[in-house]
Structure 1
Amino acid sequence: MPNQKQKRLLVPQAASALDLFKIEVANELGYPTYGFPAITPENYREVLRRMKYEVAGELGLDRFIREGYWGDVPARLCGAVGGRIGGKIGGNMVRRMIKFAEQNLAQPR
C-alpha cells in the first residue's frame, strides 16, 4: 500500500527510552502512575495502556471498550484519545527537549 503513511523511528533502539520519557512527562502533568512505585522498562507499557484507558473513560468512550476491544470505536473518537494524550504530553516533551538542547549548546566545551 504505497499511499499509507508509516511511522518509523529513526533510531528504533530509542523506543523504550522515549516511552519512559513520555510517562515521566505525563506524571509531571498529573497523570497517575497507577500504583507502580517506580516506572521501569518492564512495566512502562502497562502504565501507558492504563493511561490510554483512563483518557478514554474521561471522554466517555468506556462503553465502547469495556472488554479492551477498540474495534467498535469510531476513528474520530480514537483520535480524540490520541490527541488528548499525544498533544499535551508530546508538546511538553518537545519543550523539555528544546530546553535541554539550548542548555547544552550554551555550555562552553
Structure 2
Amino acid sequence: MTRKNKILVPEARAGLDQMKADLMNSSTPDQTKYEVAQEQGIPLKKGNNGELSTRDAGKIGGQIGGQMVKELIRRAQHQIEKEQT
C-alpha cells in the first residue's frame, strides 16, 4: 500500500511508525494493520487488496490514525504543562 500523507519532517517516519506500533501493541506497523483488520472482520490480505472497499480500508486506517492523534495531543499537553512549571 502506498502512503498518501506527507510528513513535514521525513526523518520522523521511523518514529511515527514506532508510535503506531506501540499504540496498537504490536511489533511492526504492517502487523498492526492486519491485527486491526482482523478485529474489524475485514478480509485484508498481504499483496493485492483491490477488492477491499473504501469503507473497510477507512475502518482500518481510521482506528489507527485516531489513536495516534489522541496520543500526539496527550504528549503535546504534557509538554505544555512541563514548560509552564
> Any runs of at least 4 consecutive aligned residues in structure 1 with deviations exceeding 4 A, and if so which?
none
Structure 2 counterparts to residues 12-31 of structure 1, below 5 A: 12-24=10-22, 26=23, 31=24
Deviation at 1:76, TM superposition (A): 1.1
Report the count of equivalent residues.
82
TM (norm. structure 1) is 0.62
TM (norm. structure 2) is 0.75
Change (3 A) 1:51 1:101: same
Larger helix fraction of residues: 2
Number of the residue aligned with 1:39: none
- Structure 1: segments with no counterpart, 5+ residues: 1-5, 35-46
**Larger Rg over CA atoms:** 1
2:50 to 68, 71, 83: 71
Number of the residue aligned with 1:37: none
Change (3 A) 1:16 1:67: closer
Change (3 A) 1:67 1:11: closer
Structure number with the bigger relative contact order (C-alpha 8 A, sep ≥ 6) is 1
Percent identity at matched positions? 32
Number of the residue aligned with 1:99: 78
1:61 to 42, 53, 64: 42
